[in-house]
Amino acid sequence: MSADPRAAALGPLRAAAQAQPNIALVKYWGKRDAALNLPVVGSISITLDSLWTRTEVRFVPGSTLDRFSFNGRTHDVEMKRVVACLDLLRQRAGVTWGAEVDSLNNFPTAAGLASSASGFAALVCAGSQALGLELSETERSLLARRCSGSAARSVFGGYVEWARGELADGSDSVARLLLPAAAWPLRVAVAITSTVAKEVGSSEGMRRTTQSSPFQASWIATQEADLTMARNAILAHDFDALALVSEHNCLKMHALALAAQPGLLYWNGATVECMHRVRALRREGVPVFFTVDAGPQLKAVCAPQAIEQVKAVLNGVPGVLDVLDAGLGAGARSISNAELTT
Ligand code: PMV
């Protein structure tokens, strides 16, 4: 151990945290500042429960090297973003120590399941705790946003709104809790239709869309109305209204991205067939709607009593490899050693 007096005062310099992915019902697509991850529009999401990222961070005084392992392997692709996130935490704490980061996911990554949201929310939570930074959820959300936009929302559980904000420094572009999970415990079935990493990541997809889609201005102009409708539906527990606005906003985001040059086509055949099946179920009176992010997985959000039927229908769609099932859960939080290894 080093003789750094700061380290002695801070204690073990190690902490672990868990965060879950969130699924946007009113989507974030497009950045007004790419360096600060400031969005062109606000967004609303739900945080899941049974899918998680668990991350352990250890700072090593005297070392300037960072090490990152993901599911037991070094991960060069994400290393740059992990180091950038650690730099924000180190800057805040006034230290330059290297860190060892070990992260585990219990769900397929990089295929539109928002692994960066749970990943960076967990990293900010564990890293800030390891450095003895006493941050509010709002401060953690601001830091997580800098690392990956949608991570700002996974700091909170349940129903969450991330404000676009107006300020150039991004200090008002932060997420907040709209409604706790227990107040309206909807369920989500995730139809996995591919486990291959997507061709165009969300940052590049957003950049291309903002630069070339002819629908960009209408996307921005109509988002406020969708946010208001979704917020009101959530606060009133109005499933039908939330279904209408969520499917509309999802299809609108994809229409915007499809019209970029070259067009961004995140769906495969099974994704589209799942959309038809979900709509057919709703026509039969089953409370369910779909949403799809920048990948081919389809997320079906439903009332708790409908989950088994929804899973069975999605499982029967040709091309669906698996159907995961989650409820709504808590925000990013510290976990013990015992939880880290179970
Ligand atoms: O935060 P990112 O870079 O993972 O982008 C997320 C983009 C969408 O998932 C498509 C929409 C959203 O609001 O989560």
Give residue limits of the domains in the chain. 5-184, 187-326
Contacts of range 128-131, beta carbons closer than 8 Å, 24 or more positions apart? 128/89, 128/92, 129/15, 129/17, 129/334, 130/12, 130/13, 130/14, 130/15, 130/57, 130/58, 130/59, 130/99, 131/10, 131/13, 131/59, 131/89, 131/90, 131/92, 131/93, 131/95
DSSP summary character for residue 161:
E
Q: For residue 296, say if its preceding peptide bond is cis, omega within 30 degrees of 0.
A: no
- Predicted confidence at residue 107, as pLDDT, reads 80
- Predicted confidence at residue 3, as pLDDT, reads 62
- Predicted confidence at residue 109, as pLDDT, reads 63
**Phi, psi for 261 (deg, rounded to 5):** -125, 115
Q: Find the 293 Cα to ligand 1 centroid distance in Å.
A: 7
> Can you give the pLDDT of all 342 residues of the chain as single tens digits?
456 777 777 678 999 999 999 999 999 999 999 999 999 999 999 999 999 999 999 999 999 999 999 998 888 778 999 999 999 999 999 999 999 999 999 986 644 565 789 999 999 999 999 999 999 999 999 999 999 999 999 999 999 999 999 999 999 999 999 999 999 999 999 999 998 877 888 999 999 999 999 999 999 999 999 999 999 999 999 999 999 999 999 999 999 999 999 999 999 999 999 999 999 999 999 999 999 999 999 999 999 999 999 999 999 999 999 999 999 999 999 998 778 877
Note the pLDDT tens digit of each residue in 193-237: 998 877 888 999 999 999 999 999 999 999 999 999 999 999 999
Residue nearest to atom 9 of ligand 1 (CA): 293
Q: Could you give the percent of the chain with pLDDT greater than 70?
A: 96
Contacts of range 271-280, beta carbons closer than 8 Å, 24 or more positions apart? 271/191, 271/193, 271/296, 271/297, 271/298, 273/317, 273/318, 273/319, 274/191, 274/193, 274/298, 274/300, 274/314, 274/317, 274/320, 277/313, 277/314, 277/317, 278/310, 278/313, 278/314
Distance CA 226, CA 271 (A): 23
Site to substitute for ligand 1 among 25, 28, 204, most atoms within 8 A of C-beta: 28
**CATH code for the domain defined by 187-326:** 3.30.70.890
- Predicted confidence at residue 1, as pLDDT, reads 47
Fold of 5-184: Ribosomal Protein S5; domain 2 (3.30.230)
Bridge partner list, 44: 26, 161
Q: Find the 129 Cα to ligand 1 centroid distance in Å.
A: 26
- Predicted confidence at residue 29, as pLDDT, reads 98
- Predicted confidence at residue 111, as pLDDT, reads 47
Pocket of ligand 1 (CB under 6 A): 24, 27-29, 43, 114, 116-117, 148-150, 202-203, 293-294
Please give the number of the atom of ligand 1 that sits closest to the Cα of 26: 13
User: Residue 231 CA to chain centroid, in angstroms?
Assistant: 18
